[in-house]
Each structure stands twice: as C-alpha cells, then as structure tokens.
Homo-oligomer: A and B are copies of this chain.
Amino acid sequence: MEHGHGDLNLPVRTLLGPGPSNVHPRVLRAMATPMIGHLDPKFLELMDETMELLRFVFQTQNAITLALPGTGSAGMEAALVNFIEPGDGVIAGVNGYFGERLCEMASRHGAEIRRVEAAWGEIIDPDQVERALAQRRAKLVAVVHAETSTGVLQPIRPIAEACQRHGALLVVDAVTSLGGAPVAPDEWGADVSFSCTQKGLSCPPGLAPITVSDRAVAVTGSRRSPVQSWYLDLSLITRYWGRDRVYHHTAPITMLYALHEALHLVAEEGLTARWERHQRLSNALVSGLTALGLQILAPEGYRAATLTVVKIPQGIPDIEVRKALLSEHNLEIGGGLGALKGRVWRIGLMGESCSQANVLLVLSALESALARQGWRCGKGAGVLAAIEALA
C-alpha cells in the first residue's frame, strides 16, 4: 500500500440532505484549536458553558443537560437504556423509520413494547397514545418530534399531557428539530429529549445533546438493575459533567469546541429569529416544489420546517436525479429511507444550510434535472414561486 501525503482534497458541497448541514467557518476554525486535557480546568469551564448553552437551546431548566459522546443514535440509545429495565412496558409511536428504531433499541433493552402506529407521512394520534396508556400501564412513552424519514412534525404537548395523566415518562427524539424548530421539553412536560449536532445546530456530527427531567433522574435512581450500557450510563456521565468531575470517558474535546461555538452562533441569532428563518425558507421551498408539480409527503400543518420530504413522480429515476445534482451542482439532497426508498427525496434546510440562496439553488437544479427526464412544468416555475413566497 502506498502511504502518500494525506492532505484532504474534498469537494465543497451544498448540504441539503437530512443532515449533516453545512458548518459555519467559525465552527470549523474552533476545531483547529490546539488540544487541551479533558480534566483541564479550562476545559471544565467550557463544559459548564456548553451545558448552559444547551439549556438555552432546549429552553429548559433541567440540571442534567449535556452532550453525550456519540452521534444522535447514541442519544436515542441513552434516552432508552437508562430508563428501561427488562420487562418494563414501553409505548412507541411508529410513523417512520426512526419510530421503528426506537422499538428496535427498546426491545434490545428488554422492554415490552406496544406500538401506536400511523402511516408513514401521518402524525401519531395522541388519543391513541392515551388509550394505550389507559389500557395497560407503561413506564415510558417514546415518540419522534420531527421524523427524519417523512418530514412530519409531531405535536408533542397532547402526548406529554397523556403521559402525565398516566404517570409515564415521555422520551422525545428531537434529532431533526433542535435548532431549527421550537423544542421545549419544560413547556411540553417531556422528560427526556435528545438530539444530534449536525442538523439544526450546524455542527459536525459526533455528539448527542440530551436533557433529562428530575422526574426521569429519580427513575434512574430507583433502578433494580444496572444500566445495560456502561458507556451510555447517565449516572456515570453526569458525575463527569457535574461537580464531582469523576473520570468516565475522555470527552471528545474538539467536538466540544465545535459544539460550544455552534451554540454561540444559535444564541447570537436568537431562537425565535432562527425558527422564523427556518419556517419562512421552508415555506418558500414548499411553494417552489409545488409549482414544479411535486407533492409534499406530510400534510399541511404537520410539516417540519427543517426537512421537506417530497414524492418522486412516477417514472422519474431517484438515483439519476440525485447524482446529477451532486455532480453538476455539488448539491446533496437525501433519498428515501426504508419503505420510502426510491419513492421520496428529503430536502433539508437546516442551520447554515437554511438560506435563501440554497432554496433557489435546489429548485433550479431540480427543475433542470427533472426536465432532462421529460418532466414538464412552467420554465423557472419553482424559483418564481419561491421568490413570490419570500416577498
């Protein structure tokens, strides 16, 4: 094997898939900061500031609000494994790929799972969750806020209220909403919310922000068995992030430099302004896609501003179109996941990627790629509709 010089020579992409999103130069620059130790007093200060910034973006007072040393999927596993013991009843909302993943993970931790289902592209009916809770006690209910496979935004509050009436913990997957759409566990009454760094926060992937209510912390304190995963055991991780500073793992230091900077950027923009930007540009994208003659999967009123999932018209080849976008425009959009593979495209407008320029780019690039496949619509229809929506 030839081990030549390793300098990376990667294309500069516009990332409009379901994540990662583009990263602000300030965040990239933060990652080039020299290394310090994971127990260095200056690094511990940075951890404290990161916790405070995470409480800000989660709009929470929860003491246990930190970044787990893994990707969003590690966040999901931590949000389940710390609270579930073998035999515990779990109700999972399943209306997409990540609802399925919740079930898969919970079952590996020994939960007895009951599924509350909806078609992929629909929301979970809160009344059905309430009925399931009334039927038989569950320790925990888990739902996805913004389904990354369908672009559906789930109303959380009515589910949280049902959980409170029936004494169940509520776990919310906020992977595709945090930083791009309102996430408010305290206001909702959600106990555990987790996310990732590479979507609405526009930080590289590798950490999982999580926030845990006191009620949920109390549940971990009364476990009969140890948490199955040592690596994701919140009580151990909390002793490192908390006042004790007991060594657990070596923090992904550079990733925390990045997250700290990315969270500062969110704070500087302001949460409301950021949500409005995402909503306004997502509306423009939807107008444009509709003008191109395409259909959005999620029903109006239940669409995630961060991720728009659009149906691929009959006869249009999924991969060929995406390849054209990538090779001709350096533009990435996502294909379908699971049951929707080949049937939808997923267009993310998250964090740094969520800009007016990118809305116009993806609409014109799509129009040109579709035209080549024989798809007919008014010339420039997508872009014109988007500009009108933005006016």
In the bound complex, do residue B35 and residue A250 qualify as a contact, i.e. CB atoms below 8 Å apart?
A: no
A238–chain B nearest beta-carbon distance, Å: 15
Other-chain residue from B104, B230, B247 in contact with A230 (beta carbon distance below 8 A): B104
- Say if the beta carbon of A177 comes within 8 Å of chain B: no
Q: Is A248 an interface residue (CB 8 A)?
A: yes
Contact with B along A243-273 (1 / 0, CB 8 A): 0000111111111011011011101100000
Q: A196-B250, A250-B198 are in contact. Are A264 and B3 (CB under 8 A)?
A: yes
Given known A-B contacts A13-B40, A28-B31, A108-B229, A264 and B6 have beta carbons under 8 A apart: yes
Stretch of A67-75, A88-96, A131-139, A185-193 on the interface side: A67-75
On chain B, the residues within 8 Å of A1 by CB distance are: 52, 56
A40, B327: Cα distance in complex, Å: 11
Distance in angstroms between the alpha carbons of A8 and B248 in the assembled complex: 24
**Is A200 in contact with chain B by the CB < 8 A criterion?**
no
What are the residues of chain B within 8 A of A252 when measuring CB–CB? 71, 204-206, 252, 255
Is A173 interfacial (CB-CB < 8 Å)?
no
Q: Give CA–CA (A47, B230) in the complex, Å.
A: 27
- Chain B residues with CB under 8 Å of A196's CB are 250
Asked if A33 lies at the interface with its beta carbon under 8 angstroms from chain B, I say yes
Contact of A11 among B21, B28, B36, B108 (CB under 8 A): B36
Residue of B nearest to A265 (CB): B6
| A2 and chain B: residue at smallest CB distance | B267
Complex CA distance for A3 and B253, rounded to whole angstroms: 21
Residue of B nearest to A22 (CB): B35
Contact assessment for A6 and B249 in the assembled complex, using a CB-CB cutoff below 8 Å: no
A205 touches B253 (CB 8 A): yes
Smallest beta-carbon distance A220→chain B, Å? 14
In whole angstroms, what is the CA distance A1 to B26 when docked? 21
In the bound assembly, the distance between CA atoms of A229 and B22 in angstroms comes to: 30
Evaluate contact between A5 and B264: CB separation under 8 angstroms: yes
In whole angstroms, what is the CA distance A69 to B13 when docked?
Answer: 23
- In the assembled complex, the Cα of A233 lies from the Cα of B53 at a distance in Å of 32
Q: A37-B20, A42-B10 are in contact. Are A228 and B264 (CB under 8 A)?
A: no
Bound-state Cα–Cα, A38 to B108, Å = 26
Q: Are B6 and A20 in contact (CB under 8 A)?
A: no
A109 sits at the interface (CB 8 A): yes
With contact pairs A3-B264, A252-B205 given, residues A15 and B32 touching in the complex (Cβ less than 8 Å): no
In A14-55, the 8 Å CB interface with B consists of: 15, 17, 19-23, 26, 28-38, 40-43, 46, 52-53
Bound-complex Cα distance A53 to B6 (A):
11
Bound: A32/B248 CA distance, A: 28
**A:231-246 near B, CB below 8 Å:** 231-232
Once the chains are docked, how many angstroms separate the CA of A104 from the CA of B226? 10
Q: Which B residues lie within 8 Å of A85 (CB)?
A: none
Complex interface residues of chain A between 340 and 388 (CB less than 8 A to chain B): none
Given contacts A1-B52, A250-B205, A332-B40, A34 and B22 within 8 Å (CB-CB):
yes
23 contacts between A and B (CB under 8 A): A3-B267, A6-B30, A6-B263, A15-B36, A15-B37, A20-B35, A20-B38, A22-B34, A36-B332, A69-B70, A69-B206, A71-B249, A72-B249, A73-B248, A105-B230, A204-B253, A204-B254, A205-B253, A206-B206, A206-B253, A206-B255, A229-B229, A231-B232
**Which 10 pairs show the lowest CB-CB distances between chains A and B?**
A6-B264, A206-B252, A3-B267, A204-B254, A31-B31, A28-B32, A73-B249, A205-B250, A105-B230, A77-B231
